[in-house]
Amino acid sequence: MIKPLKIAIAGLGTVGAGVVKLLAGNAELIAARCGRPVVITAVSARDRRKDRGVSLEGVDWYDDAATMAERADCDVVVELIGGADGMARRVVDAALARGRHVVTANKALLAHAGAELAAVAEGRGCVLAYEAAVAGGIPAIKVLREGLAGNRIQRVYGILNGTCNYILTQMRRTGRPFGDVLADAQRLGYAEADPSFDIDGVDAAHKLAILAALAFGTKADIAGVHVEGIRHIGATDIQFATELGYRIKLLGIARMTETGLEQRVHPCMVPLETPIAHVEDVFNAVVVEGDFVGRVVSEGRGAGAGPTASAVVADLMDISRGRASMTFAVPASRLVDAPAAPIDGHRGAYYIRLMVRDRPGVIADVTAALRDQKVSLESMIQRGRHPDAMVPVVLTTHETEEAAMRRALQRIEALDTVLEAPRLIRIEAL
Ligand SMILES: NC(=O)c1ccc[n+]([C@@H]2O[C@H](COP(=O)([O-])OP(=O)(O)OC[C@H]3O[C@@H](n4cnc5c(N)ncnc54)[C@H](OP(=O)(O)O)[C@@H]3O)[C@@H](O)[C@H]2O)c1
């Protein structure tokens, strides 16, 4: 008799309920492709009475998810609670201790404890799978770990947060300021009531740390990610970006450099002729550059019940077929600690926006500060001829070192004709 793959699901929120729905809706197709059915034997969440819009008939309910993870009658524990510690961590620890495979969508947990958990999983002969943790429905993990396994990865980057991409897209389309568009996104359910995790870049940093670990064989290092969010992006910057031939995108970028592992999450000016410039709304994109394959671009929905469930179920189907990959592509014992490349050493071109008092001599003072730090200008846009009014001045530079750029900006900010803190956005060569 064919044995089904028995799974227990911890967490029945957006993703958990989505997984239950997908497994029910596509049960036949999944069984045909795996050679056996995938069956939910147990579930756990906080509120037993909540209507989740899915049938849980015949499925055992646990109030305590960690107890469920220890249940004998289960091959895989699916952790869909979330958070780097607390119950999610207890569930994963309990499952691995009992020799159960684990599938999770939990980027915070993987970014903070990925190497440690990978070692435990491998020691117990278990799979720790996390396709849903990065870029939702895009099979980004599979692309890096399997599809491009033979390549030396030169760079991995992407639009890793749909909420930020939605806000930046709407700001450009409507010309409205950040705060108004964020409020809309919250009304539409694209942003949380507390949006800081998304808009301050933390969520994207978690995903980048996981991608970097896979791409470069390093221990996931969330502390080594330089993170800036999108709160300071003004409608003015979005307009100037278009005028200069760019789109502003929140990117996560990882690269191995001579000084260490570069991991950056921040708004970027992205040239309009690159594919990623046209990834709009809530969509995500992941770009991998390998030495033999060249550039591979994947685009899709990075969040939501359906796309995320699609990724969770793909992991379950791999386990069901007996296909096991090492958590971060190499044995956990071979993952290395790479030093973080300091952002001060970053080299690139910059977009600078100043708000200045429209007076003779302002531009001369600004360009002198840049010249003294050997920052060479590529272009300048100066608007308005209203004596003494506040007007924007936009500068773009040639490639320069970040530390020099910062020193020049400090001097510029101290000028009494400069009325606001200068805005800096890195121009990314993609
Ligand atoms: N939402 C997305 O689009 C998305 C995309 C990619 C990855 N993820 C990741 O997927 C995971 C789940 O996200 P989600 O959006 O589905 O979250 P969610 O809607 O908030 O659901 C969380 C679930 O966990 C349950 N839960 C919370 N504390 C628990 C505890 N102590 N014991 C047992 N169950 C507990 C909740 O129970 P109640 O329902 O009873 O309150 C709820 O069912 C997170 O790691 C998230 O980062 C989400």
DSSP string, 296-314: EEEEEE-SSHHHHHHHHHH
Structure tokens that stand for 146 in this block = 């399997």
- The predicted pLDDT at position 127 comes to 97
Ligand 1: atom nearest CA of 48 is 40
C-alpha of residue 177 to centroid of ligand 1, in Å: 31
C-alpha of residue 106 to centroid of ligand 1, in Å: 9
- The predicted pLDDT at position 194 comes to 87
**Helix, strand, or coil here: 109?**
helix
CA distances from 411 to 23, 64, 281, 346 (A): 60, 58, 37, 20
Query: Distance (Å, rounded) from C-alpha 268 to C-alpha 276?
Result: 11
- The predicted pLDDT at position 144 comes to 97
**Helix, strand, or coil here: 148?**
coil
- The predicted pLDDT at position 282 comes to 94
Q: Is the dihedral of CA 155, 161, 166, 172 positive or negative?
A: negative
Structure tokens that stand for 201 in this block = 């870049």
- Please tell me the total number of residues recorded for the chain in this structure: 430
Annotated catalytic residue 207: yes
User: Which amino acid residue places its CA nearest to atom 9 of ligand 1?
Assistant: 105
- The predicted pLDDT at position 409 comes to 98
Query: Distance (Å, rounded) from C-alpha 165 to C-alpha 303?
Result: 12
User: Which amino acid residue places its CA nearest to atom 15 of ligand 1?
Assistant: 14
- The predicted pLDDT at position 278 comes to 97
Structural domains for the chain = 5-133 (3.40.50.720), 141-301 (3.30.360.10), 344-427 (3.30.70.260)
Give yes or no for a contact between 231 and 168, defined as CB atoms under 8 angstroms apart: no
Phi, psi of 31 (to 5 degrees): -65, -40
| Ligand 1 neighbours by CB, cut-off 6 Å | 10-16, 44-47, 50, 65, 80-82, 87, 105-107, 132, 136, 303-304, 308
Q: Which H or E element spans position 210?
A: helix 202-216
User: Which amino acid residue places its CA nearest to atom 10 of ligand 1?
Assistant: 105
Q: Mark the ranges of the chain whose per-residue pLDDT is less than 70.
A: 384-385
Structure tokens that stand for 297 in this block = 């671009």
C-alpha of residue 195 to centroid of ligand 1, in Å: 16
Q: Which of 207, 219, 249, 374 is catalytic?
A: 207
- The predicted pLDDT at position 387 comes to 75
C-alpha of residue 24 to centroid of ligand 1, in Å: 20
- The predicted pLDDT at position 192 comes to 83
The CA angle 248-250-252, to the nearest 5 degrees, is 135
Q: Is 355 exposed, middle or buried (0-12, 13-18, 19+ CB in 10 A)?
A: middle
